[in-house]
Amino acid sequence: MYIHDSLTIDQTIAPMKRLLCMLSFVAISPYVAAQQFQRELDSLSQLMETQSVTDTATVDLRNHYTKQALFANPSDTTLLDFAEKTLEISQKMGYGRGTMLAYERMALIYQYSFSNPYKAQEFYHKALSLMEEDKKLQPYGWSIYGGIGTLYYEQEEYGKALDFFKRVLKHDKNLELTATANMANIYGSINQLDSAILYYNKALSLEQVKSNPTYKANLHSNLSLIYGQDGQVDSALVSAEKSMALIDDYGIEFVRPTAYANASMAYLGNNDYELAEKYAKLSLELSDAQGNLFLQKSAWGTLADVYAAKGDFSDALEAYKKFSVLKDSLNGQNRRVEINRKQLEFDFEKERTVTKAEIERQTTLKRATLLGGGGLLLASIFGFMLYKRRRDAVEQKKEAEFRAMVSDTELKALRAQMNPHFIFNSLNSIGDYILKNDTGTAMEYLTKFAKLMRMVLENSEFKEIPLEDDLKFLELYLQVEAKRQPGRFTYGITVEEGLDVQNILVPPLLLQPFIENSIWHGFAQKSEQGHISIGIAKQGDMLLCTVDDDGMGWQAESGVPTTKKSFGVAITESRLEILNTQKNAEGKLNITHKGRDKGTRVEVSLPLETIF
Amino acid sequence: MTIAIIDDEQHCIDHLVHLLQPHMDHVEIVSFSTVDQAIKGVDSLRPDIVFLDVQLHDNTGFDFLSSVSYRDFSLIFTTAYEKYAIEAFKFSAIAYLLKPVDRDDFEFAFQKAMDKTEQAQLHERINVLLSNVSKGNSPKRISVPHKEGYVFLLVDHVVRCQADVNYTHIYTSDGKKYTASKTLKHFEQLLAGHQFFRTHNSHLINLGFVTSYHKNGYAVLSDGAKIEVSTRRRDAFIKACAEV
């Protein structure tokens, strides 16, 4: 049974974590050994000190230095200040290429030193906008596309990442190696193992890789992992050992933690648990020291697999928990949403600029049509295109705004649940009882009111609550209102037989605004006693909630039907809209005015959600 | 019958006295506004029911309980919003009323107190309460009502709870099973925030005892029990496991 356990854990975990070392998207410079590299850095910084005048060469030098220094020591956070300074100098001079590259460097720093994808994305987009404005910058800008591609890759948005890398591969020969390697990584991540192996071997056969042992080590390491997944355990081990040999020979610290993690997997595939555990632990130590969360996540994942294979389940679970926590913190839904929103905003801005340019062109065109009738046709085609473009842009903007609306509406809904009107009227009623010396009733009313407020506070913490709790609230609310206006109305709550009220989930206090409307508007001017019936019933896979009164009809108060929606109705509509989008459901709000003096019926249908 | 009200605010005493009006012909009410007075008064007057406020000037009702030597009364706490205290009352199965006190709630609690059902094993339950509210990280205990009274269990020793209509079977790490006269929902609410997770309509489990999870829908606990995790709860369960 325990062996079976380990298999299950393995299967559950394995597809979620692949350890492909991402290579930073940097144009490849010939490899220099660590010491030599430090010397190069030193001479670069000396060079910068000796240059007293600031010119474009200084900016280029500073940008060059930033990139080299970042990959020599990714945990050096002081580079940010340095890069900001470069940006400032370059902007002052109006040096476009320098500014664009400085933005890119800032993005790289946020991406690799701070593990902050939003900031990285923001700076990449600043760099991109410059590139879009000035066609002359284009040849230098493809690495930005590569950078954005790696960002998406980190967020596991593989389709988008692939698009970006394909563009790079098409346009920039200098970046052929990195683009090929990253595409191989992505194919690996989406389990297209044949394509992955093909692209890795393609990358390994490129001329550029010969002078760059760092890259070579990394490619072998990743290839080892993919071979392992493909069940080619022998090839996996060969590649892993090739990679580690290169790392030791050239002292390539940057790749070491991932290479160890992948080697650990390869040993695991060959059932060599001792070496597997040793390398997994080494990998964890190194990535801890680097402070790289992404690598730490991978290392814990590998360790979980190793322990599970050894039959050491408590350690496996520990490791797996650590892995999950890191994974969640790295690509929580929020981050992904944020990145998407940024992309949408950027696309929208771009569209708008294009549209604006088109409008200008169109004006010129219009003048031309005065001269030639043929132009008229052209202009109308343009007009249509413009209209379409603008409409698309508007739609994208809408989508970007939708998410913001969600939280906003939830907040408003919270307030609508307990209309301030209601609170102050309740307090007035209590005061009134006290004035009339009916302290007993005042006290009774007050305690019910306090209970109600307590429930509102407790319930509004949750997005969904059991129907049972929601009904308790409505009942109490109706009691309080009935007490406030004795003899004004009676009420009944009917729940369809067989409904499991403890197990059904509903958004809290969704019906309250309608009951409030019935009491305030339906019965306000009615001379005889009114009645509200509240019904909950199942209808297919929907839950049908109704509020039916026999009052004057909400609109009767003013004599003419109002077109303005009540606040409560508007809020409920947007809560339903959010619910529909999130659950892909078709919740509806339906208000029937039964006619003057006959009352109003409100029907809310919700997707039937249960806890279990 | 003697009733003691211990509260540092006169209007709260007045309110309880008002709620006691219908019972005036067979009760005698005494009230105290400090812990010291209350200890002396209760020890000498030996009341049948005690209404006890949580916050008493610089002291608490718990200080009163730990010092008073006479404890053979029915105890009802009164409090406005002390969340930690409410949790402690629930853990120890000690009655409490929220201020301002609602008449229906009051009558319910008062009737139970007069039946003396509130007195069963009160000593032990007060001890559970005092250990749960004591400073420092002493392990939390719960009082579980069952047919012969109460059993007192360390929360950390509860492996899982299983629903059986209106009863709940509680399994502890020493291999014992207790049947409580409360619903599973009661325990779910009680133990929320203490690493417990409702995996299924009839199962509440202590995440600390989960050893593995199988993707075909069940969790294995350290005592070997296989507990179903319903499809709708799977994602939340895996997430909760990771957070333990």
CATH code for the domain of A269: 1.25.40.10
Q: Which residues of B touch A (CB under 8 A)?
A: 15, 18, 98, 100-103, 185, 198, 200-201, 210-216, 220, 230, 232-233, 238-239, 241-244
Chain A residues within 8 A of B244 when measuring between CB atoms: 321
Partner-chain contact A321 B241, CB within 8 Å:
yes
What is the average pLDDT value for chain A, to the nearest integer? Answer: 77
**Chain A residue closest to B185 (CA)?**
A502
Of A139-148, B6-15, B35-44, minimum mean pLDDT range: A139-148
Based on the fold, state whether residues A386 and A449 are members of the same structural domain.
no
* Structure confidence by residue, pLDDT tens digits, A430-486: 888 888 878 888 888 888 888 888 888 777 777 788 999 999 999 998 988 888 888
Q: Assess if residue A145 is contained within a domain.
A: no
Which residues make beta-bridge pairs with B79?
A: B98
Based on the fold, state whether residues A469 and A579 are members of the same structural domain.
yes
Cis-peptide, bond into residue B100, ω within 30° of zero: yes
- Do residues A481 and A518 make contact, with C-beta atoms less than 8 angstroms apart? no
- Do residues A504 and A565 make contact, with C-beta atoms less than 8 angstroms apart? no
Residue A320 vs residues A305, A317, B242: alpha-carbon distances, Å: 8, 5, 8
Partner-chain contact B201 A503, CB within 8 Å:
yes
Helical (H) or strand (E) element with B6 = strand B2-6
Q: Assess if residue A469 is contained within a domain.
A: yes
**Chain A residue closest to B14 (CA)?**
A443
State the smallest CA–CA distance between residue B192 and chain A in angstroms. Answer: 14
Of A447-451, A504-508, A521-525, B164-168, minimum mean pLDDT range: A521-525
Based on the fold, state whether residues A502 and A597 are members of the same structural domain.
yes
Other CB atoms within 10 Å distance of the CB of residue B185: 15
Residue A602: which pLDDT band, with cuts at 50, 70 and 90?
A: very high
State the smallest CA–CA distance between residue B198 and chain A in angstroms. Answer: 9
Q: Assess if residue A124 is contained within a domain.
A: no
Partner-chain contact B18 A444, CB within 8 Å:
no
Residue A11 vs residues A309, A564, B213: alpha-carbon distances, Å: 12, 57, 11
Which candidate from B101, B211, B238 shows the least CB-CB separation from A313? B211
Distance (Å, whole) CA A518 – CA A491:
11
What is the average pLDDT value for chain B, to the nearest integer? Answer: 89
What φ, ψ does residue A606 adopt, rounded to 5°?
-125, 150
Total domain count, chain A: 3
B2-133 and B145-243: identical CATH topology: no
Percent of chain A scored above 90 by pLDDT? 8
Which one of A330, A357, A373 terminates a domain? A330
HSE-CB of B81 using CA atoms within 13 angstroms: 7
Partner-chain contact B102 A447, CB within 8 Å:
yes
- Per-residue confidence (pLDDT) for residue B206, from 0 to 100: 94
Chain B residues within 8 A of A301 when measuring between CB atoms: none
What is the three-class DSSP state of A155?
A: coil
Chain B residues within 8 A of A315 when measuring between CB atoms: none
Partner-chain contact A328 B200, CB within 8 Å:
no
Token code pair at residue A106? 């800032």
Which candidate from B98, B230, B241 shows the least CB-CB separation from A612? B230
- A-to-B residue pairs, Cβ atoms closer than 8 angstroms: 60
Partner-chain contact B102 A450, CB within 8 Å:
yes
Sort strands B149-154 and A530-539 into parallel, antiparallel or unpaired.
unpaired
**Straight-line distance from the first to the last Cα atom of chain A, in angstroms, rounded to the nearest whole number:** 28
- Per-residue confidence (pLDDT) for residue B51, from 0 to 100: 95
Residue A389 domain boundaries: 347-406
Please give the sequence-ordered ranges of beta strands (E in DSSP) within B59-134, or none if there are none: 59-60, 74-79, 95-98
Residue A482 vs residues A147, B136, B142: alpha-carbon distances, Å: 64, 48, 40
Q: Where are the alpha helices (DSSP H) in A172-250?
A: 176-189, 193-204, 207-210, 213-229, 233-250
Domain ranges of chain B: 2-133, 145-243
Based on the fold, state whether residues A457 and A569 are members of the same structural domain.
yes
Cβ–Cβ contact A454 with B under 8 A: yes
- Do residues B31 and B4 make contact, with C-beta atoms less than 8 angstroms apart? yes
Partner B, chain A 299-318, Cβ-Cβ below 8 Å:
313-314, 317
* Structure confidence by residue, pLDDT tens digits, A285-331: 887 777 767 777 777 887 888 887 777 777 877 788 778 777 776 65
Token code pair at residue A202? 């393609």
Partner-chain contact A612 B200, CB within 8 Å:
yes
Topology annotation, domain B145-243: OB fold (Dihydrolipoamide Acetyltransferase, E2P) (2.40.50)
State the smallest CA–CA distance between residue B69 and chain A in angstroms. Answer: 34
Distance (Å, whole) CA A586 – CA B27:
60
CATH number (domain holding residue A586): 3.30.565.10
- Per-residue confidence (pLDDT) for residue A10, from 0 to 100: 28
Based on the fold, state whether residues A274 and A326 are members of the same structural domain.
yes
Residue B111: which pLDDT band, with cuts at 50, 70 and 90?
A: very high
- Mean predicted confidence (pLDDT) in A226-235: 86
Sort strands B28-32 and B2-6 into parallel, antiparallel or unpaired.
parallel
Which candidate from A12, A447, A612 shows the least CB-CB separation from B215? A12
Based on the fold, state whether residues A258 and A308 are members of the same structural domain.
yes
- Per-residue confidence (pLDDT) for residue B53, from 0 to 100: 93
Of A354-358, B17-21, B156-160, minimum mean pLDDT range: A354-358
Based on the fold, state whether residues A424 and A302 are members of the same structural domain.
no
Which candidate from A9, A317, A446 shows the least CB-CB separation from B100? A446
Global confidence as pTM? 0.49
- Per-residue confidence (pLDDT) for residue A343, from 0 to 100: 62
Based on the fold, state whether residues A444 and A579 are members of the same structural domain.
yes
Token code pair at residue A441? 């009733």
State the smallest CA–CA distance between residue B183 and chain A in angstroms. Answer: 12
Q: Does A418 have pLDDT greater than 80?
A: no
Q: Does A556 have pLDDT greater than 70?
A: no
What φ, ψ does residue B145 adopt, rounded to 5°?
-75, 130
Q: Assess if residue A243 is contained within a domain.
A: yes
Residue B44: which pLDDT band, with cuts at 50, 70 and 90?
A: very high
Based on the fold, state whether residues A427 and A541 are members of the same structural domain.
yes
Cβ–Cβ contact A329 with B under 8 A: no
Which candidate from A448, A611, A612 shows the least CB-CB separation from B102? A448
State the smallest CA–CA distance between residue B55 and chain A in angstroms. Answer: 19
- Mean predicted confidence (pLDDT) in B103-115: 91
Q: Assess if residue A86 is contained within a domain.
A: no
Cβ–Cβ contact A392 with B under 8 A: no
Residue A409: which pLDDT band, with cuts at 50, 70 and 90?
A: low
Which residues make beta-bridge pairs with B161?
A: B170, B204
**Chain B residue closest to A326 (CA)?**
B242
Topology annotation, domain B2-133: Rossmann fold (3.40.50)
Based on the fold, state whether residues A243 and A388 are members of the same structural domain.
no
Partner-chain contact B215 A610, CB within 8 Å:
no
Based on the fold, state whether residues A401 and A425 are members of the same structural domain.
no
* Structure confidence by residue, pLDDT tens digits, B71-87: 889 999 999 877 778 88
Out of A407-421, B15-29, B109-123, the most confident range is B15-29
Q: Assess if residue A396 is contained within a domain.
A: yes
Q: Assess if residue A244 is contained within a domain.
A: yes
Query: Sheet containing A609-610: which strands, arranged edge to edge?
Result: A465-466, A504-506, A609-610
Q: Does A12 have pLDDT greater than 50?
A: no
